Amino acid sequence: MKGSARELTAEPLRQALADALRDRRGRPGRALLLGNYGNGNSGDEAILAGLIDLSSDPTRLTVVTRNPKEIARLHNVAATRTVSMGGIVSFLRSDALCVGGGGMFGRGLPPLVGLLPLVLLVGRFLRKEIYFLALGAYSDTPEPVRTLLRLVARVARAVTVRDEESVQMLNDGMARGVRPVLVPDPAVELAPAPPAKVLELLASHADRPLVVSIKALPDTELLDHSLSVLAQAVRACAHARKAPVVLLCLSARADYGLGPEWSDPVLADLFCRKADLPYAPLIVGPDLPPRLAKGVVAQARGVVGMRLHAQIFAVATGAPLIGLTFEAKTESWLRAHQVPSLPVRDMTAENLTDLMLQTIP
């Protein structure tokens, strides 16, 4: 792929969507869109909103989700419940199966996502076209899912991915078939909410806050230590920069099979106790509309982000960013965008504070 990550264009993604939704034999095409939608993750909802914005006719899309009512509320598109009779009917009636972005394939993937390559192969056997739309797929994806996913990529009509590691992962073993095309994450294209809406949400914390986005690590002991280090560094930086602190919760659930006690809101509350600031930080989210979540980041003086879409929102809106990494997808994305980053295992209060003071004006 030539050019830097900042020079990527969404045009191949737009063309893939147009092709998936094209007329067939004189009737409108029907596409099924599969992803982690309706599960309380603002980053995944931002991906869906971006794809809807890029599509030529969203009325031809049907989103597969555990929560059709939430999809209708947030996006005003047709939705069908995962593993239901309606979902099976929508699958059989569809012309195209679109896997709609996000870091779906990597360490800790849910069981249903692990079965998705098999579902796609069944769809191809039934003569349905397959499209990968800004997919994230990484080398730590468990076998045999990794091998099956590469096989699906070989028979797909279009394969677009959002980072170089996904290109390399899908290219491995693809002597024939469609080559992955690098595109921006659809959330990059999404317009943030107007400042007035954001200021209404932030209220007394609206004066160019320091925004912090936390995510649970699979190593819970390291997570607790990391929260203590992060709390010390944020306290020092907030004092030096005289900035209010906002905790942005992008997900209602923890990844890696961790329970509700490791969700973003619980971690945000724990962080606030550890930080012991002279005022209470504001906790916003989860379940924010994606444009509003991006708008919060757009108003930030600086962002310290563990979740990928906090990082994507920051780069897209020009907010100074320090990325904290423990996942292949964030390491790959931050490296491509030349963003200051720090592996969680290497974090100390001193080196994180120094990096924040160097990065955040």
**How much is the mean pLDDT over the chain?**
92
Q: How many domains does the chain have?
A: 2
Question: Within 10 Å of residue 335's Cβ, how many Cβ atoms?
Answer: 16
Distance CA 275, CA 70 (A): 34
Question: Does 283 lie in the same domain as 302?
Answer: yes
Question: Does 157 lie in the same domain as 27?
Answer: yes
pLDDT at 17 over 90: yes
Predicted confidence at residue 328, as pLDDT, reads 86
Which domain-ending residue is among 189, 223, 243? Answer: 189
Single pTM value for the model: 0.92
pLDDT in tens, 120-150: 999 999 999 999 999 999 988 999 999 999 9
Question: Does 63 lie in the same domain as 208?
Answer: no
Instruction: Return the CATH number at 247.
Output: 3.40.50.2000
Predicted confidence at residue 104, as pLDDT, reads 86
pLDDT at 96 over 60: yes
Question: Does 153 lie in the same domain as 27?
Answer: yes
The answer to whether the CB of 104 falls within 8 A of the CB of 137 is yes
Distance CA 79, CA 76 (A): 9
Question: Does 208 lie in the same domain as 125?
Answer: no
Instruction: Return the CATH number at 16.
Output: 3.40.50
The residue segments making up the domain with residue 171 are 5-189
Question: Does 323 lie in the same domain as 199?
Answer: yes
Question: Does 177 lie in the same domain as 207?
Answer: no
Which domain-ending residue is among 189, 218, 244? Answer: 189
Question: Does 343 lie in the same domain as 212?
Answer: yes
Which contacts (CB < 8 Å, 24+ apart) does range 70-74 have? 70/38, 71/37, 71/38, 74/45, 74/48, 74/49, 74/289, 74/290
Question: Does 227 lie in the same domain as 181?
Answer: no
Mean pLDDT of 325-354: 92
Question: Does 199 lie in the same domain as 251?
Answer: yes
Question: Does 252 lie in the same domain as 139?
Answer: no
Predicted confidence at residue 27, as pLDDT, reads 94
